[in-house]
Chains A and B, each alone.
Chain A
Amino acid sequence: DAGITQSPRHKVTETGTPVTLRCHQTENHRYMYWYRQDPGHGLRLIHYSYGVKDTDKGEVSDGYSVSRSKTEDFLLTLESATSSQTSVYFCAISLTGKGSYEQYFGPGTRLTVT
């Protein structure tokens, strides 16, 4: 258990509304990630962070923004939600730089955009 929580765990929202998902970690890890999981696609990286206020885009970043104002929190925002953003979103942390490189995942947020 890497001390990762995600909130909310489930959300239903309407097309065009803004949505923010929160990832919180308790172990001061430097690297944090947001993925989306869709059938037939596995996990795809949306954005990642390598420190406070340091973020970069992943494979599927269009329509998403992120912020990290403190080490423990990494926020994912859908500025104007679309039905194509209906998915399960996972946050992860990485142990990179501590002798191993695996990522540990949160429990996920199921988002439905109607």
Chain B
Amino acid sequence: AQSVTQLDSQVPVFEEAPVELRCNYSSSVSVYLFWYVQYPNQGLQLLLKYLSGSTLVKGINGFEAEFNKSQTSFHLRKPSVHISDTAEYFCAVSTTNTGNQFYFGTGTSLTVIP
């Protein structure tokens, strides 16, 4: 089975500051990588995905992530956060040989401070 590690359970950041949410995965095969956001009392919404090609992927709400195969990482970044970015963020991985199954990290709670 794959595993996904989100190194920070909570990340506080001031409004308009940059943020990076870290995600590492373990897999010996090719992977698909995803970031989801969950606002309070809601379901998960896809932020962005990496399937193949360019290692820098851009998503909604100004977020981007970079796939680093050698470090098995897929860190999420935003250059300037807003209060509305306060939410829980989940990293997920699926593999090319089991493309239908996802493995999720434990989540990072991002709190944007005014």
Contact = CB atoms under 8 A, between A and B. Distances in A.
Nearest to A31: B100
B105 A50 contact: no
A74 interface: no
B105 A42 contact: yes
A87 interface: no
A42 B25 CA distance: 15
Nearest to B49: A102
A103 B92 CA distance: 10
A100 B100 contact: no
Interface stretch (A11-19, A64-72, A77-85, A104-112): A104-112
B6 to A, nearest CB: 8
A100 B49 contact: yes
Contacts, number: 52
A105 B43 contact: yes
Contact of B43 (A44, A94, A108): A108
Contact of B94 (A44, A58, A59, A101): A101
B30 to A, nearest CB: 12
9 contacts: A42-B90, A43-B102, A58-B101, A59-B1, A100-B49, A100-B51, A102-B49, A103-B34, A104-B46
